[in-house]
Amino acid sequence: ARTSPTIWDVLIAIAGGIAGVIGSRKKEANNIVPGVAIATALMPPICTAGYGLANGNVRFLLGALYLFLINCVFIMLINIVGTRILMRKSPLTSFKELSIKMRIGLISLIVLLILPASYSAVTLTIEQARKEGIKQFVGKEFANYTVINQVYKSSNNELVLTVVGD
């Protein structure tokens, strides 16, 4: 899960940013809420990246670094927006104050982070629906048999079953 981020990971990063804003709103120095947000959003992907680096697994490394980047960017953006709102300034006003290059860069960064995560979420959802459909099909059509093994070959849309029974 830490090596193929989805759009849900973006939503988790946004929730971590909101937690950081809430934690910074308190008058006394309280680092518990932002600490938990950082611990849950940033530490697992960076640890997974370290694991991937140590084992030479480039897929783990790049996927975990991508999730880390998503979390960093969206926690930062939500903190900026939240701080602006708490200061009674419109976030849109500060966005308009940015140069055109900065606006294009910021929007491009957000789009570049969200598009692959959205694609990954759609792919994951389709795969889960396919697995559930196969499970229901096998349970219904082969109810009187014992299914020892089942393999779905997506390349040619083939389900291979090893069954025991009459």
Q: Which residues contact 100 (CB under 8 A, 6 or more apart)?
A: none
pLDDT over 70 at 42, yes or no: yes
Confidence of residue 53 (pLDDT cuts 50, 70, 90): very high
pLDDT over 60 at 29, yes or no: no
pLDDT at 1: 63
Using an 8 Å Cβ cutoff, are 123 and 111 in contact? no
36-45, 114-123, 146-155: range with lowest mean pLDDT: 36-45
Q: Which residues contact 118 (CB under 8 A, 6 or more apart)?
A: 6, 7
pTM: 0.66
Using an 8 Å Cβ cutoff, are 144 and 135 in contact? no
DSSP character string of 7-68: HHHHHHHHHHHHHHHHHHHSSS---HHHHHHHHHHTHHHHHHHHHHHHHT-HHHHHHHHHHH
CA distances, 5 to each of 1, 15, 62, 69, 125 (Å):
7, 16, 11, 10, 13
Q: Which residue has the higher pLDDT, 147 or 166?
A: 147
- Mean pLDDT, the chain, as a whole number? 81
Using an 8 Å Cβ cutoff, are 21 and 86 in contact? yes
d(CA 67, CA 75): 12
Q: What's the mean pLDDT in 105-133? A: 86
Using an 8 Å Cβ cutoff, are 10 and 117 in contact? yes
Pairing of strands 158-164, 146-153: antiparallel
pLDDT over 70 at 139, yes or no: yes
Tell me, what amino acid is at 101? Answer: K
Domain boundaries, the chain: 7-141
Q: What is the pLDDT of residues 69-105, one digit of tens each?
A: 888 888 888 887 887 777 776 655 666 677 777 778 8
pLDDT at 54: 93
pLDDT over 80 at 30, yes or no: no
Q: Which residue has the higher pLDDT, 44 or 103?
A: 44
